[in-house]
Structure 1
Amino acid sequence: MNVRTNPAAARFVTGSTMRHVIVMAGTGAIGLMAVFAVDLANLFYVSMLGDTSVAAAVGFAGTVNFFHVAISIGMTIGVSATVARLLGAGERAKARQVATASLAFIVLVTVVLTAITLLLLEHILDALGATGETRELTRLFLYITAPTLPLLAIGMCTAALMRSIGDARRAMTVTLSAAIVTAILDPILIFGFHLGLTGAAISNVIARIVLTLVGLYGVSRVNHLIARFQPQRTWDDVKPVLKIALPAVLTNLATPVAAAYVTHAMARFGPAAIAGQATIDRITPVAFALIYALTGAVGPIVAQNLGAGRADRIRETIRNSLGFVLATVALAWIVLALAQHGLIRAFSARGVTAEIISVFCSWLVASYAFVGCLFVANATFNNLDRPLLSTLFNWGRTTLGTVPFVAVGIKYGPIGVLIGQAAGSAIFGLMAMVVAWIVVKRLPMGDCARLAARHAEEPAAVSVSVPGAAAGNTVAPEVQ
């Protein structure tokens, strides 16, 4: 088979796959950790206000924002996988056109999503169980931050594009820049100007503006992945992306749906339980940034080797990713178990809130090994033309793996809710990984050639015009 590769554009088809996984996950994790550490610090500052209702409001708002992020990530998975495939097959001009059209389409989708969120906000808060002062604070926070969803989506997409080309370092700078801005503004606005939760929301808005500007500069001026926008071709350019993105969105929506159900279950135990959940929800992305980064790390590596017809390297990538997950979770478990009392003091946690943090750090951390398996499996399914399997397992975890387990756990209080959620996630994470390994093991070289050829043909149907130097602009953010 004649494999069309450009070493400069498809760097994952040679060299150690473990090294590629570590570098991609490591650089992605730095950016993610910076963002989530600031989010954690945000909650820390808010907790210092001494009002459990404010911390609970951050938890409710985070659940709503989770839906926004899940949809944005699903779209960026489609963009990243399609562009990486085209680059792996040596079709850079087509990759640029697809990247440009996809950015425009993502803006349209997120503007509509923002409008729907604001129109239905009261119903959403009812469903989550937000009441009283906590409800008012949640509404305030979302009215300020929700309109900037398109900016967040653009930033995420540009980082994903950069990662699809292998420019993990610049993708990292996209999220780092926003994190630095937030870290500086949070204490100034929350305490310096005495704005409290409003200050945290304003800081969030400014950070998203910076995220967008840095990301667009990277894709347009550094990596040259942006072509001239041709509105009349947008649908044709976006169609191959949507074949992956739509199942990926459905897959990703399962997680926030499960989170919303758990939040609703926690709400019956009061603001203290919601505050405890909000705290661990912000500890975990920092502690497991490497795990969260795996989806964005594994996807481009698998996609480029698919385009190059290297089934052997795809299998090797999955094996190495699993080893990486186990090592990362073991390290995080040790650190959190030792640091739990310090975390409880830092967040001024008492009663139920402190108990939730302690149980999570002591025992429930281990369940993230199976969450990591699910992330690796999803990235594999999405990039091997089996995205519906991702949808099946994620929604299976959300329904069969969450509802009955949480329904039983709720009888034992908020701790029972968390244990039930962890047990269901473990079962479905393990099942997903077993199926992913079967899919990869049965993937002969001929299948790689067939899949790569088919996906190369889909964008080829689009007539791409590359107008001079301006067409060479593209930078992509991380898939978080």
Structure 2
Amino acid sequence: MDHPQADDAALPSEGVVQPAVVPPPPKFVTGSIMRHVIVMTSTGSIGLTAVFAVDLINLWYISHLGDTVATAAVGYGSTILFVTTSICIGIMISAGALCSRALGARDRPLARRYGASILMWMLLVTGAVAVLTFPLIGWMLRLLGAHGRTLDLSTLYLEITMPTVVPLGVGIGLSGVLRAVGDAKRAMYVTLSGAAVAAILDPIFILWLGLGVEGAAIVIVFSRMALALLGWYGAVRVHDLVGRLSLKRALEDAGPIAAIAGPAVLANLATPVANGYMTAILAPFGDGAVAGNAVMGRLIAFCFGGIFSLSGVVGPIFGQNYGAGRLDRVHRTLSDAFLFTTIYAVVVWAALALCHHLVIRAFNITDPQAAQLIEFFCLFVAGSWAFHGLLFVANASFNNLGFPLASTVFNWGKATLGTIPFAMLGAKLWGAEGALTGQGLGAVLFGVIGVWWAYRSIGQLKLPGTSRAS
């Protein structure tokens, strides 16, 4: 039996004149765009970095066991977990886009309905991912190049952590709802909770209890449960932006949700697929190369967290201003976000280049090949992340302004045409360092084209409710 629609506004009693209530303007429709970009990206990057920091903290403690095989095993496992995280982030993008548009149009009941429907779809999709991928864990790891003891340890790691994609999705999805309303700080706290749990429990389970890779996996379970609980508190109890969960309404809302989440998920999957390819292409160079790549992967996620967060946190700024009909502010958001991500990436690159020896010592890297690969990345390849960032901003505009297919095309183009031939040729000519160089050059190419296409797309926008220019 269907419950009454809790999201519907109450009808005024007959004959009673209700005073007009004018809701306050949405947060991002007024004030400095650059300030909104900085605040949302900085808090969002801290929050999303906290999600990846769980892997970083795990890897840091694992590396101090002095076992290159264990480090490589976590690297293989994290490559696959990154796929599930990317699916969750893709669905979260739809939460930020749809809820922010509704709030921008001052339709809070619609925002609450979208919040509930997106959460329901997050549960359905992540549950299906956990069930379908669990029996394929061994096959996926062997496909990446894992074998022997490395395969055994990475299989154990994933068998424990794969089911946690469900609470991870709930936490990330609800943080997207919080960003849609402009509560960047509370959204940051949601994901910080997972990192805090990992920081407390990792030394206990990995070192003191001596559980190693198994302990790292157990900690992920606890950290993702914390993520879900705090996200539910903020989005439901504090802001009341999630209506009654209903499978019927979720199915009715599948169209607008899938229109954004589908292409966003496909676009986000391109990055872990490219990472998986890079893991496979480095595997023949030995466990040292894979271990070095694992450290680089965690460094990228941690140090360039602001870039990863852009597609989710800048989206509500686009969405609210587009929903309010402020196309001038939409254009300014794109330019300010491009400027911010470029400065951010260059500063991080400089820091990594200056501190590369410290990074190698911090992760207790004793394998010469791993150390050489990390040094090469910090000095040279990290600079290509400025162009990754430009493409992430472009994708945020595509996803939130009605061009989601462009996001999918560009991300998969970078993951395939911008990665495979470049990395393959580089590996053949200059080994593992050449593979990293090739991947970086592909990112430069697609970043530049993405910037041009984003400005071209925004030039085609019309006010909501009117037809778009052809």
Question: Do residues 89 (structure 1) and 105 (structure 2) align?
Answer: yes
CA contact (8 A) 1:273 1:353 kept: yes
- Distance in 2 of aligned mates of 1:296 and 1:327: 19
Residue equivalent to 1:475: none
Q: Check the 8 A contact 2:75/2:293 in 1, yes or no.
A: yes
CA distance in 2, matches of 1:28, 1:93: 25
Residue 15 of structure 2: aligned partner: none
Rounded to whole Å, the distance in 2 between the matches of 1:450 and 1:172 is 33
Q: Is residue 74 from structure 1 mapped to residue 61 from structure 2 by the alignment?
A: no
Q: Is the 8 A contact 1:5 1:87 kept in 2?
A: no
Which moved further from structure 2: 322-331 or 152-161? 322-331
Does the CA contact (< 8 Å) of 2:342 and 2:390 recur in 1? Answer: no
Q: Which residue of 1 aligns with 2:464?
A: 449
Q: How big is each residue's C-alpha offset from its partner over 1:3-53, in whole Å with a ceiling of 9 and x where there is no partner?
A: x99436x21011100000000001112223334344322211101111111
2:342: which partner in 1? 326
Aligned residue-pair number:
446
User: Counterpart of 2:287?
Assistant: 271
For residues 112-141 of structure 1, what are the alpha-carbon distances to aligned partners after superposition, in whole Å with 9 as ceiling and x for unaligned? 111111121222122111111100000000
What's the counterpart of residue 421 of structure 2? 404
Deviation, structure 1 residue 101: 1.7
Deviation, structure 1 residue 438: 1.5
Equivalent residues in 2 for 1:382-421, closer than 5 Å? 382-411=399-428, 412-421=430-439
Partner letter of residue 296 of structure 1? G
State the match for 1:191 in structure 2: 207
Q: Deviations over 1:312-341 (max 9, x none)?
A: 001111111111012111211221111111
Equivalent pair of 1:308/1:452 in contact (CA under 8 Å): no
| Mean Cα deviation higher: 95-104 or 158-167 | 95-104
Equivalent in the alignment of 1:373? 390
What is the identity, as a one-letter code, of the residue corresponding to 1:414? A
1:305 aligns to what? 321
- After superposition, the C-alpha distances for 1:70-125 in whole angstroms (9 at most, x for unaligned) are 11111111122111111111111011012112211211111111111112122212
1:452 CA displacement: 10
Q: Are residues 103 and 5 of structure 1, via their aligned partners in 2, closer, same or farther at CA, if it must alter by over 3 Å? A: farther
In the alignment, is the contact (CA less than 8 A) between 1:85 and 1:452 conserved in 2?
Answer: no
Please name the residue that 2:10 is paired with.
Answer: none
Preserved contact between residue 160 and residue 296 of structure 1 (Cα < 8 Å): yes
How do 1:181-260 residues align onto structure 2 when only pairs under 5 Å count? Answer: 181-260=197-276
How far apart are the structure 1 equivalents of 2:433 and 2:466? 46
Partners of 1:317 and 1:330 lie apart in 2 by 20
Larger RCO (alpha carbons 8 Å, 6+ apart) = 1
Cα deviation 1:161-180 (Å, max 9, x = unaligned)? 00011010110110111111
- Conserved 8 A contact 1:385-1:451: no
- Equivalents in 2 of 1:406, 1:390: separation in Å? 22
SS in 2 for 1:334: helix
Within 2, Cα distance between the matches of 1:333 and 1:225? 38
Q: Name the counterpart of 1:470.
A: none
Give how far 1:229 is off.
2.4
| Superposition map of 1:335-350 within 5 A | 335-349=351-365, 350=367
Instruction: Indicate conservation of the 8 Å contact 2:101/2:322, yes or no.
Output: yes
Query: Structure 2-normalised TM-score?
Result: 0.92
CA contact (8 A) 2:28 2:317 kept: yes
Structure 1 segments of 4 or more deviating over 6 A? Answer: none
Name the residue aligned to 1:476: none
Which residue number corresponds to residue 24 of structure 2?
Answer: 7
Structure 2 vs 1, CA of residues 122 and 451 (structure 1 numbering), >3 Å: closer, same or farther? farther
For 1:155 and 1:5, the matched residues in 2 are separated by 32
Q: Which position in structure 1 is the counterpart of 2:4?
A: none
1:219 is displaced (CA, Å) by 1.1
Q: Which AA in structure 1 matches 2:250?
A: T
- Range 143-152 or range 233-242, more displaced: 233-242
1:413-437, Cα deviation, whole Å (9 max, x unpaired): 1111111111111111111111001
Q: 1:138 aligns with which of 148, 151, 154?
A: 154
Cα distance between partner residues in 2 of 1:38 and 1:74: 20
Whole-angstrom distance in 1 between the partners of 2:228 and 2:49? 18
State the TM-score, normalizing by the size of structure 1: 0.90
Q: Give the superposition deviation at 1:451.
A: 6.1
The one-letter code matched in structure 2 to 1:7 is P
1:427 matched residue in structure 2: 445
Partner of 1:25 in structure 2?
Answer: 41
Amino acid at match of 1:218: G
Letter in 2 for 1:438: R
Letter in 1 for 2:372: E
Aligned partner (choices 191, 195, 207) of residue 175 of structure 1: 191
- C-alpha distance after superposition, 1:135-191 (max 9, x if no partner): 000000000000111110000000000001101011011011111111000001111
Unaligned 5+ runs, structure 2: 1-20
Q: Is the 8 A contact 1:57 1:134 kept in 2?
A: yes
Q: CA RMSD of the aligned region, Å?
A: 1.6
Q: Deviations over 1:237-284 (max 9, x none)?
A: 232111111111111111111111111101111110000000011111
